[in-house]
């Protein structure tokens, strides 16, 4: 395992991200984790939750190489823009949220961190704070000068990557071009190999249309775009099965020996994954020069400070980040 610490960003300060950091600190973790957060905010939230967590301030010139003891949390103190009340958004803290992400991402680029794990942000309040922000993925792509990234969600026994992400359904078919499909597939293949240590990844590919087009009777995208592109990629040595009908691909017969599924659009693949592992799934950004995993849920403002939250997704995000770092060591 890596001796470098991992960065943990708590996301929206009024949401459950700070709670997750503190609940995580109740037990010693397998690797050192540094919360990039405001110490006073964490202390305030710990008091609200009735948790006795020792906050240990650290700086980049002396990051620890050993995990914090149970009941304690390493913190790289980051200044807030305004005081925080659990459950109440404040645009004045937009810059704080982005600063935590910048410190984590740049720290990974500079070799201070082995990877970063992100708790949920609130896109709307960041934009209200005067910053154009479309999401973690786009922010980190720009920070690391990465042209193309791929969204993949994973849970125990299933990984699903997406060719298209947050598009209206009417725009999906036009967005699936040979160029895009090729780029996404290569990134998926390369990261399964390089970041997950799978020497010869096997990828199942969904068709776009019902029954994968049924020979052109239910759509021509498979014939015109998907099948020819997959053939070219197979010639490069990428192990691709498909395009297969999505309604039968997600069955044990097909999934038993595959390493990932490539879905054509968001709601083709993710409902299956979330049904299988909701609360224990992780969002992984592929294509970045750094390791980044994230929880698969939102800020849950109504639960902030209540103690009534599940750390399962964060635990899976940590486990995946640790495993990816170990495969690169």
Matching CATH topology for 6-146+288-328 and 150-274? yes
Please check whether the domain covering 150-274 is classified as CATH 3.40.50.2020: no
Rounded Cα distance between 234 and 187, Å, is 14
- Residues at the annotated binding site for substrate? 136-137, 274, 283, 292
Task: Judge whether 56 and 71 are in contact, CB under 8 Å.
Answer: no
- Is residue 212 very low, low, confident or very high in pLDDT (cuts 50, 70, 90)? very high
Structure confidence at residue 183 (pLDDT): 97
Give the global pTM.
0.89
- Residues at the annotated binding site? 136-137, 166, 211, 266, 274, 283, 292
Structure confidence at residue 218 (pLDDT): 92
Q: Kindly state the average pLDDT of the residues 11-25.
A: 96
Structure confidence at residue 13 (pLDDT): 97
Strand partners, 284: 152, 293
pLDDT single digits (tens) 159-208: 999 999 888 999 999 999 999 999 999 999 999 999 999 999 999 999 99
pLDDT single digits (tens) 79-130: 999 999 999 999 999 999 999 999 999 999 999 999 999 999 999 999 999 9
Given CA atoms 249, 250, 253, 254 in this order, what sign does their dihedral have? positive
Q: Kindly state the average pLDDT of the residues 307-317.
A: 91
Structure confidence at residue 58 (pLDDT): 96
Question: CATH number of 6-146+288-328: 3.40.1500.10, 3.40.718.10, 3.40.50.720, 3.40.50.970?
Answer: 3.40.718.10
Structure confidence at residue 2 (pLDDT): 54
Structure confidence at residue 279 (pLDDT): 78
Nearest to 266 by CA among 274, 278, 254: 274
For the chain, which residues make up each domain, given as ranges?
A: 6-146+288-328, 150-274
Question: What percentage of the chain exceeds 90 in pLDDT?
Answer: 87
pLDDT single digits (tens) 242-292: 999 999 999 999 999 899 999 999 999 999 999 998 878 899 999 999 999
Strand partners, 123: none
Cα→Cα distances 320→45, 161, 242, Å? 27, 15, 27
- Residues at the annotated binding site for a divalent metal cation? 166, 211, 266
Structure confidence at residue 329 (pLDDT): 67
Nearest to 207 by CA among 252, 167, 254: 254
């Amino acid at each position: 395992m890596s001796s470098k610490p991992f960065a943990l960003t708590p996301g929206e300060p009024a949401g459950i991200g700070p709670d997750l950091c503190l609940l995580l600190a109740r037990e010693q973790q397998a690797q050192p984790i540094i919360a990039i957060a405001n110490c006073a905010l964490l202390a305030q939230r710990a008091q609200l939750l009735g948790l006795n967590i020792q906050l240990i301030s650290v700086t980049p010139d002396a990051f620890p190489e050993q995990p914090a003891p149970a009941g304690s949390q390493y913190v790289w103190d980051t200044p807030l823009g305004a005081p925080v009340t659990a459950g109440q958004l404040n645009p004045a803290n937009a810059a704080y949220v982005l600063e935590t992400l910048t410190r984590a991402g740049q720290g990974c680029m500079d070799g201070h961190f082995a990877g970063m794990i992100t708790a949920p942000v609130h896109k709307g309040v960041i934009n209200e704070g005067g910053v154009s922000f479309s999401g973690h993925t786009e922010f980190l792509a720009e920070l690391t000068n990465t042209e193309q990234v791929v969204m993949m969600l994973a849970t125990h026994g299933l990984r699903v990557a997406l060719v298209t992400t947050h598009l209206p359904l009417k725009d999906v078919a036009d967005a699936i071009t040979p160029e895009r499909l090729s780029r996404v597939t290569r990134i998926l293949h390369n990261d399964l190999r390089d970041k997950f240590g799978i020497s010869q990844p096997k990828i199942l590919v969904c068709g776009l249309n019902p029954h994968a087009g049924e020979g052109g009777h239910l759509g021509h995208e498979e014939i015109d775009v998907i099948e020819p592109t997959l053939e070219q990629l197979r010639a490069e040595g990428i192990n691709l099965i498909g395009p297969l009908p999505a309604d039968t691909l997600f069955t044990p017969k097909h999934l038993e020996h595959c390493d990932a599924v490539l879905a054509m659009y968001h709601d083709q693949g993710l409902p299956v994954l979330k049904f299988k592992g909701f609360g224990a799934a992780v969002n992984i950004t592929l294509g970045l020069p750094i390791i980044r995993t994230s929880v698969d849920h939102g800020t849950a403002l109504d639960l902030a400070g209540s103690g009534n939250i599940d750390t399962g997704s964060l635990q899976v995000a940590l486990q995946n980040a640790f495993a990816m770092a170990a495969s690169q060591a």
